Amino acid sequence: MTIDRRVLLGATTAFAVTCALPARAALQEQDFFADTAQDGNFTYRRTNMQAIDPVWRRQLVHYVHQEMPGTVIVDTRNHFLYSTFENNTALRYGVGVGKEGFKWYGRAQVDRKEVWPAWTPPPEMLLRRPELPRHMDGGPDNPLGPRAMYLYRDGRDLGYRLHGTVEPWSIGSDVSSGCIRLLPEDVMDLYQRTPIGTNVLVLEHLV
């Protein structure tokens, strides 16, 4: 895949650090949101990037890998997702990953994509958290956020997604039931770069 210089410059300059990050302990939930934006039929709260640690902001990086350019690589230990280019270059996103006992690894493929996806918690999740709704239509309050990419292996839905979040403070943490969550702006960006059939590798960490 050829790197478009304008895309890479836009990715790096749009997320440059412009001021010091406030102490995380002092931040309140509302501090993580800026103004609102329109996407399709929905108005959602934009992320206040100044409340996000610079390490978790989308950025172009040097990343040595052995995968075909275009592969999505998830490093759950370090809470990064890489959309790979040629010449050991990648666009890196901060992510939230599975909690202890919910981590997984291996290869998968994006076989389905949804804009403002609906959410139906699986039965095993409802057993753990019976207070959850049985179904939620897509929208700004849906925990999957504005985009979702569904991971399959050998034609079987693994039950894991790359998706957005309504909790931007959770990026960089072990928080999910195995899905990989990104900031709303980041999942919208990744969605555009990730066609159906994209290979996904979740790295194995044995220790």
Catalytic site residues? 163, 179
Residues across the chain: 207
- Cα–Cα distances in Å, from 13 out to 16, 17, 108, 120, 207? 5, 9, 31, 37, 36
**Assigned token pair, 179:** 């899905």
Q: Check if the beta carbon of residue 197 is closer than 8 Å to that of residue 183.
A: no
**Using CA atoms, how far apart are residues 9 and 83, in angstroms rounded to an integer?**
15
